[in-house]
Amino acid sequence: MKKLYGTGVALVTPFKRDGKIDFEGLEKIVKHVVENEVDYLVVLGTTAETSTLKKEEKKNIIECVKNINQKKLPLILGIGGNNTEDIIEKIKNINLDDFFAILSVSPYYNRPSQEGIYQHFKSIVNNTDAKIIIYNVPKRTGSNILPDTVIRLANEFENIVGIKEASGNILQSYKIIEKKPISFSLISGDDFIALPVILGGGDGVISVIAQGFPKKVSEMVSLAKENKIQEAFSIFYKIINMIELIYEEGNPTGIKTLLKILKICNSYVRLPLIRGTSFLEKKIENKLYGKSNN
């Protein structure tokens, strides 16, 4: 079974001042990352502000990305939530022909036990032929998928093909890497620790910062996969401060502020998120164009 390697990009949803989707901005983003050597695209993930999007808007975003991508890169589609039955229905009612896999977040808010998490993903897999990538992001969901649960799912269900691991705990990633099947992908969901995770045997990253610096991040990940450690870290140290800045006022507020400065799309977000402050914008501009970046 084909695995996901390298650099995936968690696409934002650009908005206009009036709150409508900016499809021209979305086209610019997709072209920007596709032309700068990323390996795959994640559509309607957390970074896309999916929880604020209407059903019709999601459908239009999917069609827009598919039309621009023209099957150049694999696509991953975010379909997750905290109602197992509802997720199964959504998966059944969408055409997944153009998607490599579904990225499905661990149930949030209701904070299930490890057995509950296992049964949740088991139910999804038993009701679809689609490949599933688990998404573990405890700071957003309120619960952590422990390595033993991940390994159990990976060993029992062939269609669970990977995990986007965003616990921020390197040791947790290493424990999964140590015991996972060869065909199962461990993908870092955290820009800060992507490099050590890949060097420890991870398969790549689903990145936010790669939306701003696709070529740099793709090169860094490729060098890490080739075990060219010094070269990989030399790129990482050039972008580490920018990674800090884009998360300073939350995601996707920060990355949208960077994309605005790069003249790729506007920085508008939907409530309850708010736009990046002028202070953040100035900091990012200084880091991007200042002497420290030369």
Strands 132-136 and 160-165: parallel
Phi, psi (5° rounding) for residue 104? -125, 120
Exposure string (b/e) for 154-185, b if CB count within 10 Å is 16 or more? beeeeebbbbbbbbebbebbbbbbeebeeebb
Q: Which residues are catalytic?
A: 135, 164
Structure tokens at 60: 């239009």
Q: How far is CA 169 from CA 5, 50, 65, in A?
A: 21, 25, 32
